[in-house]
Structure 1
């Protein structure tokens, strides 16, 4: 470990920022080599880190001169402080989504494409669902090739930050007490409901969010963008994403070989199939790795696969971000 390198977490007091701190602590990163940056109004907030606390500092005007890697976990703060971090020579890893929607920089997933980062100064760490799907595809590509990827993303409201959590909590309480609800963040009721995408449809009928998910996944695994589609649905759960992943392989391979390839893959946890169902809330929340719960294929040598994957949308994204940051600091392991 490079104990002299400094890592900064921008937006350290948000959901994703707190998860990044937890993952850094679990990885053994020293508190003395970490800077927790927040918005002006939150300066001075004490943030839990392992068996101690970090005192937060303002992201605005922060001197990034000694920072090796800056992890960006808040889109608004990223927009404000990205240029000063870049000018100071820090390597940038954006988990907030800001860079993904404003510029075109490489997408990186640990255990997929982070071993050859070279001198890249800005990178995108994608959402947990992209991390999970990319690791599955990377595990199966050498064995069978992947011709097509179709993904259905069942999104927890925490993907929309604390505002999503507050909206679901408020609506649930009101409905259970026979009180009227008034949607604010979402266009319709989210409690006890499922919402498809509603904003920014492109010429093919996909939302901007779905098109971005498809692009990030295609870039992470190195396939043409037209080979990937994504459908996003918002679910009435606070944390924990589900993913139905359908793959069309180039070559038929016995299902047992595919299962063994997934079990041997770094960054995935393949759960044993038994009578108990696997769900995002019960099985994925607080877990750093995505969980593969089901692999279904036609009998014999399968080319069409259906997988059910669950992941803690916050913790798994943060785990990937920290693993990439450690690669940037320490080199591939």
Structure 2
């Protein structure tokens, strides 16, 4: 029996996500899957992601190993994947998405609204900083990097009052018990693609493309396609202060996309929405991005990049 080599980052979350995909492939196709861990720039550097753009820092080495034939497929957090396609690779499957919301983990079980003025909230995301500042809660945002346990430990030790993480990652790690609030997208829109996984293989590997196709979820693919189309049209990288969330509604007949672009300070910001058929996901994202650009979104993205 052929064994597929699955390339993954070595972090606990990445290995957990990749193991989940490996288990599904074994169960649904009967193939054997071996995990191969690959070190990435994002793993090796402790510098803030914004200092080197954030674009692709967690996936580049894995994708190069895939293109070179060192592994047969790769699993990424979709939000880390650059929006510019790699002609060597095929995004063969986007499985059913986890809850895409951000999650607050705060001392004493506090919610966002209960945090006192001056509370220290850790996050390494300009998108989260921008939206937290826009809420006008008077909290202080503190730059934060590291794995999930490192970030949670900042709260446990009292160094920080709270941290904001992706709920999906905590769910996959079995750590939802630490969440004190799943943040409503009305308050904080997630990163484009947040909560979804990307399964890639080589574009000429028809056998693996067929195997991965059984994992693909059409509704999730349509939603994240709209979100990533917006991000690409804005010409904003994954570290830009851009939030977007698409949902399939009305029994699958409509796609509704909401997006926000802001400055790190929280003001001004542009928040708009668009809708259409899921079959037009790319066009919906492009159309909404064009509307945001007409409102000055490019200037906000540039200003935030300068501020960082």
Query: Quick check: TM above 0.5?
Result: no
Q: Normalising by structure 1, what TM-score?
A: 0.30
Higher percent of residues as helix: 2
After TM superposition, the score normalised by the length of structure 2 is 0.32
The structure with the largest alpha-carbon Rg is 1
